[in-house]
A and B are shown apart, each in its own frame.
Chain A
Amino acid sequence: MMTVITSSGNNKNSLFDKRFGRTAWFCLYDEETKKTTFIENTDNETSNGAGTKAAEKMVELKVEKVISGDFGPKAKDLLDKFNIQMVIIQDDGIKVKDILEKLKQ
Chain B
Amino acid sequence: MPRRRRLRKVVAPPIFSGYKPYGTNCESDETIELLYEEYEALKLADYDHMNHQDASELMGVSRPTFARIYKSARIKIARALVEAKVIRMVYGNAWMDKKWFICNDCHSRFTIPKSVSKKSCPICGSENKETLKNQNN
Contacts and interface: CB of A to CB of B under 8 A. Distances in A.
A89 B7 contact: no
Contact of A89 (B108, B111, B115, B125): B108
Interface stretch (B48-56, B75-83, B116-124): B116-124
* Interface core residue of B106, B111, B116, B122 (most chain A CB under 10 Å): B111
B111 A102 contact: no
A83 B113 contact: yes
A85 B7 contact: no
Contacts of A103: 123
Interface residues of A, number: 20
A85 B113 contact: yes
Interface footprint category on B: 20 to 34
A73 B10 CA distance: 13
A64 B115 contact: yes
Given A73-B7, A102-B123, A87 B114 contact: no
Given A76-B95, A102-B106, A85 B112 contact: yes
What 7 pairs between A and B have smallest CB-CB spacing?
Answer: A83-B113, A88-B109, A83-B115, A87-B110, A89-B108, A86-B111, A87-B122
Given A80-B111, A102-B123, 8 more contacts: A83-B115, A85-B111, A87-B111, A88-B109, A88-B110, A89-B106, A91-B107, A102-B106
